[in-house]
């Protein structure tokens, strides 16, 4: 096999790998949005304006069993709780602003971290678990 053919095969392999990687990434983000309930929440609580309030980046939460470990920007203001993934994870995950009146927050005790269970009144099938220290830091 000559050098030109080897080079062409290498380029084709790299393009093929990149295409497969992008396809898998898109499928992963779409599936996580559906399974976590983010899509349902976005249908009701999509934050269309830039969020104004206290935020903390690289926060963690578990939505319907889907872990967003270190992937979230969480925020709070007088209107509600803001949630948005960090940039590489935003596809299919619209920013959310959930009014405080729509949230029911209950303490959970579990070793080694104390957590809150967050229930969405209009979406009772969706639950979120978050460390108490995270929400306490954001408190309005």
Q: Coil, strand, or helix at residue 45?
A: helix
Task: State the pLDDT at residue 21.
Answer: 87
**In the prediction, which pLDDT does 113 show?**
75
Give the three-state DSSP class for 99.
strand
Phi and psi at residue 35, to the nearest 5° = -70, -30
In sequence order, which ranges of 57-108 are alpha helices (DSSP H)? none
> What is the set of domains in the chain, with CATH numbers?
38-138 (2.30.29.30)
pTM, rounded to two decimals: 0.84
Whole-angstrom CA distances from 102 to 18, 71, 128 are 42, 23, 13
Q: Is 129 helix (H, G, I), strand (E, B) or coil?
A: strand
Residue 77, pLDDT score: 93
Rounded Cα distance, 113 and 61, in Å: 13
Q: Tell me, what's the pLDDT at 140?
A: 53
Torsion region of 83: left, alpha or beta (phi above 0 gives left; psi -120 to 50 gives alpha): beta
Q: What is the dihedral of CA 122, 104, 69, 72, to 10 degrees?
A: 70
Where the chain has pLDDT below 70, the residues are 110-111, 139-140
């Amino acid at each position: 096999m000559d050098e030109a053919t080897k080079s062409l095969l290498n380029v084709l392999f790299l393009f093929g790998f990149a295409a497969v990687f992008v396809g898998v990434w898109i499928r992963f983000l779409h599936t996580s949005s559906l399974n976590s309930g983010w899509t349902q929440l976005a249908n009701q609580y999509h934050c269309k304006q830039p969020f104004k309030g206290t935020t903390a980046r690289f926060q963690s939460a578990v939505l319907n069993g889907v872990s967003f470990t270190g992937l979230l920007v969480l925020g709070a203001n007088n209107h509600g709780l803001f949630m948005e993934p960090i940039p590489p994870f935003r596809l299919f995950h619209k920013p959310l602003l959930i009014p405080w009146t729509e949230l029911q927050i209950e303490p959970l005790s579990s070793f080694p971290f104390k957590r809150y269970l967050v229930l969405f009144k209009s979406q009772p099938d969706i639950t979120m678990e978050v460390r108490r220290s995270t929400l306490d830091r954001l408190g309005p």
